[in-house]
Structures are given as structure tokens and as C-alpha cells.
Amino acid sequence: MRLLTHNMLSSNIKGVTSGFPLRLEVEKVVEKQVDFNADFLNNMFVKIEWKALVDASRAMGYADLPDQTEPSMLDSDEFLKKFHHALLELHLEEGALICPETGRRFPVNKGIPNMLLHEDEV
């Protein structure tokens, strides 16, 4: 699972008001190379929750994203390459996503998070 997917998922357990972002429990990370697409990254930049991406990439062992950003950074190839790597190339292969409010664990196996809720959570 790429961190772009993580940047969209949230915990939807009954009663939870802010299920985003899910915390990462990391057992295994896989890197897969993806072609660099600057236009796509420029598009994504305004849609991404930056802090969630930074925290998630750090949990995955990648610490090169800056805490603060400004639009002018998009002119820098170096910045875009880091953004590209964190967003698309790092995969959580084994581990879990943790609901920020309840601590409920959603396991990730073979890169697939299981977000199914139990009957009493719906």
C-alpha cells in the first residue's frame, strides 16, 4: 500500500469523529520504483494532507520530507523527487493501521489493509 492510499483512508468506527490520519505500525516496507511524473505531483500537492504524509513516511523509515512546505518548493526537482518517493514508491507491506481515536488496529497483510468493521462498530 502506497502512502497516497494511506492519505485517503480513515477510520469510520461508530462514534469516531476524527478517524484521520491512521497511525502506522510498520513491520515490513517494500520499495517499488515508479516513473517520475512532475505534473501529477503538482496536482497532488494541493490535495495531500502534508503532515499525515510526513508522519507516515517517517514511520516507514524515510525522513527526508520537510515539515513545512510552500508552493515555491514545487519548482525544485529535488523536493519533487522526495515527494514522489514518499507518496508513490514506499509501500507498507506488513503491519497495521491504527485508529487515532480508539486505537483499533486494522491489519495490513501482503500490502492489503483490512478495514472491515465488526458488527458493533458500524
Q: Report the alpha-carbon distance of residue 32 to residue 47 in Å, rounded.
A: 23
- In the chain the first and final C-alpha atoms are separated, in Å, by 24
As beta bridge partners, residue 95 has: 26, 108
According to the binding rule CB under 8 A, does residue 10 interact with other proteins?
yes
Of 67, 110, 118, 120, the residue at the interface with other proteins (CB under 8 A) is 110
Of 11, 62, 95, 96, the residue at the interface with other proteins (CB under 8 A) is 11
Residues in the chain: 122
Cell of 41: 505531483
According to the binding rule CB under 8 A, does residue 118 interact with other proteins?
no
Q: Report the alpha-carbon distance of residue 92 to residue 23 in Å, rounded.
A: 12
Of 4, 29, 59, 73, the residue at the interface with other proteins (CB under 8 A) is 4
Q: Residues 27-46: x/- map of binding to other proteins (CB under 8 A)?
A: -----x-x--x-xx--xx--
Q: Report the alpha-carbon distance of residue 57 to residue 12 in Å, rounded.
A: 23
According to the binding rule CB under 8 A, does residue 100 interact with other proteins?
no
Interface residues with other proteins (CB under 8 A) are: 1-2, 4-5, 7-12, 19-20, 32, 34, 37, 39-40, 43-44, 47-49, 88, 110-117, 122
